[in-house]
Structure 1
Amino acid sequence: MRELVILGTSSQAPTRTRNHNGYFLQWEQEGILFDPGEGTQRQLIHANLSAGKIHRICITHVHGDHCFGLPGVLSRMVLDGVEHPVHVHYPASGEDVVRALVFLATPGLDLHLHPHGAAGPIAPGVEVEELHHRVEAFGYRVTEPDGRTFLPDRLAAAGITGPDVGRLQREGSLGSVRLDDVSVHRPGRRFAFVMDTGLCDGAAALADGADLLVTESTFSDGDAALAARYRHLTAGQAGSLAGHGGAATLVLTHFSSRYDDVGLLAAQARATAGTATVIAASDLDRIPFPAHR
């Protein structure tokens, strides 16, 4: 099962209807929590999500709206008796902040801290790219292994059925029939997470080929000067990341509190997003992962 649960969508300051950041990705058997801002522990309750489902926590940068909920989440995991290892990934320059937040949490977890300082793999199936913000920031990409899609007509023509299909997949050939003869390459699905940043090569690399792209959309296109000053994206820029990268679904979030209605932001993103489906996230939305393309 793959599903994204939106725990919070507000930037900098929460509002009456939007909590600080928080995003939970169910990636088959692994649960990944991204950017737990204040109130994330309570939002997990509202979303009917057990903190015990969290195996990995990924922090893009150490501004408070992206990490001040960490002590509460970790403490809740201890309270709930979580025994599996929990891995926390974050920019190396935020080491002191993350350790201070961990110090505030109730001890008792099998906790592993993993600072990173450069683009590249950080865990099996997880990579980071550097973003362009006022402090060191990294976006995340989660990718499943590539696979094969069998073509039923070719299998039938080759006379391969039942358990022999699995055997062919494992061994690569069956008699004179090769795996390539009856199947095609299927790229692994990709999830990309882009938070506080201006347009940059790292954000473009994360968006490239993403099946589900989550990106900040702090400002409207009309407030582009503010976006540039604070190194954030406008809605149109968020859409362009999806459009140029060929993303299938774009989820907009991290909205400034100046926008009561984010419909305008969604419309601006759709104008530049190409064929991507655009969703303006609301707190507690549950977004299923798109099917294979």
Structure 2
Amino acid sequence: MRFEVTVLGSNGALPSDRRHPSAHFFRSEVSDILVDCGEGTQMRLQAAGLGMGRCGLILITHLHGDHYFGLPGLLTSMALNGRTIPLRIVSPPGLWERIAPLLELDRYGLPFDLHFDSVAADKLVAVRELEDVAIFAFPLRHRIQTNGYLIREKQREANMVKEAIERHAIPWQSIAGIKQGADYTDPTGRVIPNHLLTVPPPPPRSYAYCSDTAYFPQLVEWVKGVDLLYHEATFLHEMATEARDRGHSTAREAATTARAAAVGRLIMGHFSARYADTTAHEREARAIFPNSYAVRDLYRYLVPYAGRGEPGSVN
């Protein structure tokens, strides 16, 4: 079952001809979620072959332009493509007040309902629940109110043991209850315990997105144990003072958080435009947390069941 993240852009605030502004696209079997929406995100979605039709939820971390300036173009493109299903956007307070004047000036009415949820997280808080995943927000430390986001798969039902179904001639009408934990009573009145009929489901998978943030140890408690952690690494550690002053992190600090949180894999982005190559970021991070990767635009990162596979590239 799919649980994957495509990196649409990995650059910091200043433009670069090598990387695009921040945006990730999360996909499960039934949920599409866009996280941040820098300039040109609509074109990056097309370049990745993802389209724009199924996305029902957008998560914006904060109101610096390189994380939301792509919204007006994306919304109007959705409209021009004939979208009619509702769209919900979660962000810190103030986003609607910035977007509404642009939509009014354009005088192009959106043919779908657009809902804005304002969230200023000061702890781990639930923000939305979709069919197969739950979404949480948590605070980051930047120059303005900034949310991180955690997407966690819901616990699946137990799996039936095929041989047990055949051995006990279990009718299909009983299977749903058994998968939810019930025992089975056969026609003779004999009770077969649930643990003989099922095997536990794989543990729920998880992905956390930490955009612009200075290093702070408390972050660990909100991303502890996630399978895939995205953490900004704007600078190398030789610029740690500048990183702290600007509300950013270094590759070493991202890896320190990943190690302390015992995550499965760390992927880093939001690189300063001064870095043409990010292999030094990987080298710096891997000295502390070996399973660290500098992301590449349009790469897709897969989270397999039971854990912790290797990163994959876009097809």
Structure 2 length-normalised TM: 0.83
Aligned partner of residue 53 in structure 2, secondary structure: helix
Structure 1 pair 249/290, CA: closer, same or farther in 2 (3 Å)?
farther
Is contact 1:194-1:203 (8 Å) kept?
A: no
* Counterpart mapping for 1:179-218 below 5 A: 179-180=194-195, 182-184=198-200, 186-200=202-216, 203-218=219-234
Is residue 110 from structure 1 mapped to residue 113 from structure 2 by the alignment? yes
Instruction: Report the number of matched residues.
Output: 290
Structure 1 pair 177/34, CA: closer, same or farther in 2 (3 Å)?
same
C-alpha displacement of 1:186: 4.2
Counterpart Cα distance in 1 of 2:273 and 2:281:
13
Is contact 2:158-2:201 (8 Å) kept?
A: yes
Considering fraction of residues, name the structure with more helix: 1
C-alpha displacement of 1:165: 5.6
Structure 1 pair 116/158, CA: closer, same or farther in 2 (3 Å)?
same
Residue range with higher mean Cα deviation, 202-211 or 221-230 = 202-211
Is residue 88 from structure 1 mapped to residue 89 from structure 2 by the alignment? yes
Aligned twin of 2:269 = 253
Residue range with higher mean Cα deviation, 201-210 or 161-170 = 161-170
Is residue 279 from structure 1 mapped to residue 293 from structure 2 by the alignment? yes
Aligned partner of residue 282 in structure 2, secondary structure: helix
Counterpart Cα distance in 2 of 1:217 and 1:280:
9
Aligned residues with identical type, % of pairs: 29
Is residue 121 from structure 1 mapped to residue 136 from structure 2 by the alignment? no
Name the amino acid aligned to 1:41: Q
Aligned twin of 2:311 = none
Aligned twin of 2:313 = none
Is residue 170 from structure 1 mapped to residue 180 from structure 2 by the alignment? yes
Aligned twin of 2:39 = 38
Aligned partner of residue 147 in structure 1, secondary structure: coil
Is residue 132 from structure 1 mapped to residue 132 from structure 2 by the alignment? no
Counterpart Cα distance in 1 of 2:289 and 2:192:
42
1:55-95 CA-to-partner distances (Å, cap 9, x unmatched) read 11100000011000010111110011112111000002545
Structure 1 pair 194/27, CA: closer, same or farther in 2 (3 Å)?
same
Is contact 1:38-1:69 (8 Å) kept?
A: yes
1:203-259 CA-to-partner distances (Å, cap 9, x unmatched) read 323321111111111111111111111111110111122211121121111000111
Structure 1 length-normalised TM: 0.89
Structure 1 pair 161/237, CA: closer, same or farther in 2 (3 Å)?
farther
Name the amino acid aligned to 1:34: V
Aligned twin of 1:21 = 22
Residue range with higher mean Cα deviation, 203-212 or 159-168 = 159-168
Counterpart Cα distance in 2 of 1:225 and 1:58:
29
Structure 1 pair 67/86, CA: closer, same or farther in 2 (3 Å)?
same
Aligned twin of 1:289 = 303
Aligned twin of 1:62 = 63
Aligned partner of residue 53 in structure 1, secondary structure: coil
Larger Rg: 2
Counterpart Cα distance in 1 of 2:218 and 2:135:
15
Gaps of 5+ in 1: none
Name the amino acid aligned to 1:121: A
C-alpha displacement of 1:53: 2.5
Counterpart Cα distance in 1 of 2:304 and 2:293:
13
Aligned partner of residue 306 in structure 2, secondary structure: coil
Structure 1 pair 231/161, CA: closer, same or farther in 2 (3 Å)?
farther
C-alpha displacement of 1:104: 5.9
Counterpart Cα distance in 2 of 1:103 and 1:267:
48
Structure 1 pair 113/197, CA: closer, same or farther in 2 (3 Å)?
same
Is contact 2:6-2:300 (8 Å) kept?
A: yes
Gaps of 5+ in 2: 186-190, 308-315
C-alpha displacement of 1:41: 1.5
Aligned partner of residue 24 in structure 2, secondary structure: strand
